[in-house]
A and B are shown apart, each in its own frame.
Chain A
């Protein structure tokens, strides 16, 4: 869906670009203009010219499809695993911090101390600490995803209106059903907000980790394209990262829609 824009809300008159056909024309023009600008950048005289769109497409076609697919799957797997571990640890941790004052006092300060350090700054320490590359990258994706998940879960549980808890207790809920039937659904929207942010940061981290490690994955593909002077491949790597990131984010959105059925209106 295209955002309507402020003008769309203010003006009632219909211009050609507000019609369905017009908006398709607009979208195509937008892509064409982008490609033209890119092509023009390629024409700027430089020692090493920026690869043009057609060179990039040719580079993509000449790639070995199997090894390219392997890189995509490997990155996706690294993101997915780190993200999953972050969710499995982060959601219960956030729930405990959000619920219990004791846990909040004990755990929250530690979380707060770590949070301001940008995850990328952990790369040297992670290299030092983890003997293998996989462990290092896994740590980075986990770490990047962890904080948004914890923070949004805390926010979710703190924002549950007391009224729902009171209503449930009035209706005779035990603590078990109070937790599973009231508190969990009430904080789900906020948890999914966290997961959505987290998957984006996990992609950021996997690219950074792979560029440092250069042992497979789309980040390594992009970095190696630069180092081995196969410049048009840089764009192929970037496009792959973009598409995979978009796909993951849509996947989270899709699951959220399945789980949070009551909030679709």
Chain B
């Protein structure tokens, strides 16, 4: 599969909850992610970022609008295409299967899709793990590794089937600062060497600018895209850039955009609590 763009048009999502009735989670949300682009979405917590990603992944239905990946319609009212290997997801809390070794985890996708035989998948996975320096841990279980190591394996597992788009839902949230920067660089190297489109969610603005080609800022609920910031930093990127004048300038700009929304979200939360 080749990396494809993702077109999200006028996506609206309504929930009905028993407590507060109808909730508008996403309101007319439109994003066009280009093929081979690293797109990052930031916004206050509860703004619907994850809901949007789940709609693209096929875990959730939308109320209005449509989503396509490449030329395939993924979601529209009444249309949900099942989750599948064209849209691989890397999860917030780590989605490696604890009962499989690293190698079994990485091979699982190609084998169950009957893309490769077990033997071919093993060879392929071994090669890929060796190239990123994870060869020694292939027989280990996830429980025997650090969380940073687990994230790296999970990214490899997601990439091995050449998805059209990689969906990452705050994948580094639970990592400590040291692990986080190692795994971020790991992802950047992979992005430089593999053709892939990434849709990445985070609330860490530094992470957003360090990784992304463009950063979309979402409004507080109901979520919609407020602005998109072009990250004009050259690739390959290194941690040294984090102190550059360009980076700091972009960060100040982004912080301002997000802070405004965070304040609104806070005020809305206070109102809700007062009710």
Which A positions have Cβ atoms within 8 angstroms of B? 161, 163-164, 166-174, 177, 181-182, 185-186, 188, 260-263, 265
**Bound-complex Cα distance A163 to B93 (A):** 9
Would you give 28 A-B contacts (Cβ < 8 Å), ordered by A? A161-B93, A163-B91, A164-B95, A166-B83, A166-B95, A167-B97, A168-B112, A169-B58, A170-B84, A170-B85, A170-B87, A170-B88, A170-B89, A171-B85, A171-B88, A172-B84, A172-B85, A172-B109, A172-B113, A177-B112, A181-B97, A185-B97, A185-B99, A262-B142, A262-B143, A263-B98, A265-B141, A265-B143
Q: Which residues on B sit within 8 Å (CB–CB) of A161?
A: 93
Sorted nearest first, the 5 A-B pairs with minimum C-beta distance are: A185-B99, A167-B95, A171-B109, A172-B113, A262-B141
Tally A-B pairs: CB < 8 A: 70
B59 sits at the interface (CB 8 A): yes
Q: Judge if B246 is at the interface, Cβ distance under 8 Å.
A: no
| Inter-chain contact A164/B97, CB cutoff 8 Å | yes
Task: Pick from B59, B99, B100: contact of A166, CB below 8 A.
Answer: B59
B144 nearest CB neighbor, chain A only:
A265
B72 within 8 A of A: no
**Chain A residues positioned under 8 Å from B83 (CB to CB):** 166, 169-170
In the assembled complex, the Cα of A186 lies from the Cα of B96 at a distance in Å of: 12
Interface bits B97-111 vs A (CB < 8 Å: 1, else 0) = 111100000001100
Q: How far is the CB of B227 from chain A (nearest CB, A)?
A: 30
- Residue on A with the closest CB to B96? A167
A263 with B112: CB separation less than 8 A: no
Task: Kindly list chain B residues whose C-beta atoms are within 8 Å of the C-beta of A261.
Answer: 141
Q: CA of A169 to CA of B157 in the docked complex: distance in angstroms?
A: 13
Complex: chain A residue closest to B160, CB-CB? A171
Is the CB of B230 closer than 8 A to any CB of chain A? no
Question: Across the interface, do A181 and B108 meet the contact criterion of CB distance under 8 Å?
Answer: yes
A169 to B85, CA, bound (A): 8
Smallest CB gap from B59: residue in A: A166
Residues of A within 8 A of B161 (CB): 171-172
Asked if B260 CB lies within 8 Å of chain A CBs, one says no
The complex places the Cα of A263 from the Cα of B144 at a distance, in Å, of 9
User: Are the C-beta atoms of A263 and B143 separated by less than 8 Å?
Assistant: yes
- Most chain B CB neighbours (cut-off 10 Å) among A167, A260, A265: A167
Closest partner residue, chain A, to B99 (CB atom):
A185
Task: Known contacts A169-B82, A171-B112; decide if A186 and B99 are in contact (CB<8 Å).
Answer: yes
- 9 more A-B contacts (CB under 8 A) besides A169-B83, A174-B112? A164-B95, A166-B59, A167-B91, A169-B58, A181-B100, A185-B97, A186-B99, A188-B99, A262-B141
